[in-house]
Amino acid sequence: MAKLAEQEHPNKAFGWAARDSSGVLSPFNFSRRATGEKDVSFKVLYCGICHSDLHMLKNEWGSTTYPLVPGHEIAGIVTEVGSKVQKFKVGDRVGVGCMVGSCNSCENCSNSLENYCPKMILTYGAKYFDGTTTYGGYSDIMVADEHFVIRIPDNIALDAAAPLLCAGITVYSPLRYYGLDKPGLHVGVVGLGGLGHVAVKFAKAFGAKVTVISTSPNKKKEAIENLGADSFLVSREPEQIQAVLGTFDGIIDTVSAVHPILPLIALLKTHGKLVMVGAPEKPLELPAFPLLMGRKMVAGSCIGGMKETQEMIDFAAKHKITPDIEVIPIDYVNTAMERLVKADVKYRFVIDIGNTLKSSS
Ligand SMILES: NC(=O)c1ccc[n+]([C@@H]2O[C@H](COP(=O)([O-])OP(=O)(O)OC[C@H]3O[C@@H](n4cnc5c(N)ncnc54)[C@H](O)[C@@H]3O)[C@@H](O)[C@H]2O)c1
Ligand SMILES: [Zn+2]
């Protein structure tokens, strides 16, 4: 018989888990493995709430197993390191993002693309090498192989650093890979949520002219004045769309629900790229003709490799790019999820784990 989550490993852990597809989170006792020779253990201080957590809590992608402890934007302070750990020591400021393992031998792993390894192990809701379930950062302690641990630069506060570990790398990687990181390019960002608002900041730091494309005109003032976007396009206004057809070098699409992409393709220049990073649970409609006319590309991107994630957070530190966050106590997490459904957050919830997650035992 499978062991109880509390008895699988020697170290007691405590977090909040969903037990079914209602997605409601409640206190949960489990355990973490002892610090292995290549492992880093750390006290979790902050964890961001990604929309992927919401998709997973409600089993919207059909792959969730319960109990599920979400959280893959995890920041904290090292408490113990294994004997063969080289990069970290007790007291270091560290983080873990979306993955905690990969095969380390395939072509993707050899190219620092652990995120595309077929055996990549997700930070939560997956099976680790030893067959036990992985649990995420809505919890008090974390342990991970040092290869999957990121050093958080001193000049980024830990609460603001957390969302960079998923939202940050998810938009930085495609901007770089698809060549949208050159000064003067016109880059669009669709969906001004957790990912989208960081995409605006990175694209601006690369020197792009950035246009936010949104369904809600009420985000305009903030997008331009606070986030630094150059312009704002209301996607439901045909006249506004008409005026900028064929003017975008690339668009990063972060929308979490099914939405029409044909109007976005029309915004691209010849050779323009529409990069999907949002992950709606149902297929999008993709007509061929608009792609043929102008050799346009619709592409995708999933987080980023460990090397690039470190590069991203170092770049963020250098350019003073930090997410706009709303820090919440753990017992607000279910309300936060309800607000996230309604896109009622500017722009990322971050749970104050260190001060508010208290084990009852
Ligand atoms: N590719 C990856 O590696 C990766 C990584 C993280 C998250 N994601 C996915 O990206 C998506 C966005 O994540 P997030 O954390 O930024 O979410 P979020 O909820 O913070 O932001 C999503 C944005 O999309 C907008 N939106 C929602 N439905 C819309 C619709 N029908 N039309 C237009 N706009 C709409 C919302 O207003 C919001 O601004 C999610 O699907 C998430 O699972 C992908
Ligand atoms: Zn995420």
Whether the pLDDT of residue 226 is over 70: the answer is yes
- How high is the pLDDT of residue 360? 63
CB 203 within 8 A of CB 186: no
Alpha-carbon gap, residue 36 to 336, rounded angstroms: 35
Alpha-carbon gap, residue 279 to 342, rounded angstroms: 17
ipTM: 0.99
Alpha-carbon gap, residue 67 to 295, rounded angstroms: 46
* Distance from Cα 282 to the centre of ligand 2, integer Å: 18
Q: Is the CB of 192 under 6 A from ligand 1?
A: yes
Whether the pLDDT of residue 165 is over 80: the answer is yes
- How high is the pLDDT of residue 26? 98
CA 93 to chain centre: 19
pLDDT one-digit tens code per residue, 235-284:
989 999 999 999 999 999 999 999 999 999 999 999 999 999 999 989 99
Closest CA to 27 of 10, 14, 46: 14
Q: Give the residue, out of 165, 214, 256, 349, with the most ligand 1 atoms within 8 A of its beta carbon, to mutate for a pocket test.
A: 256
Confidence of residue 216 (pLDDT cuts 50, 70, 90): confident
* Distance from Cα 302 to the centre of ligand 2, integer Å: 10
- Give the whole-number percent of the chain exceeding pLDDT 70: 99
List the structure tokens of 230: 């150059």
DSSP for 114-159, please give it: GGG-TT-EESSSSB-TTSPBP--SSBSEEEEEGGG-EEPPTTS-HH
Q: Give the sign of the dihedral formed by CA 133, CA 137, CA 140, CA 143.
A: positive
Q: Which amino acid is at 361?
A: S
**Predicted TM-score of the model (pTM):** 0.97
Q: Which residue has the tokens 């995409």?
A: 199
Tell me the chain's radius of gyration from C-alpha atoms.
20
pLDDT one-digit tens code per residue, 92-104:
999 999 999 999 9
Q: Is the CB of 284 under 6 A from ligand 1?
A: no
Q: Whose CA is nearest to atom 32 of ligand 1?
A: 259
- How high is the pLDDT of residue 3? 79
Q: Alpha-carbon dihedral of residues 231, 236, 239, 242, nearest 10 degrees?
A: 80
Q: Whose CA is nearest to atom 25 of ligand 1?
A: 191
Q: Is the CB of 264 under 6 A from ligand 1?
A: no
- How high is the pLDDT of residue 1? 55
Mean pLDDT, rounded, for 149-162:
98
Confidence of residue 65 (pLDDT cuts 50, 70, 90): very high
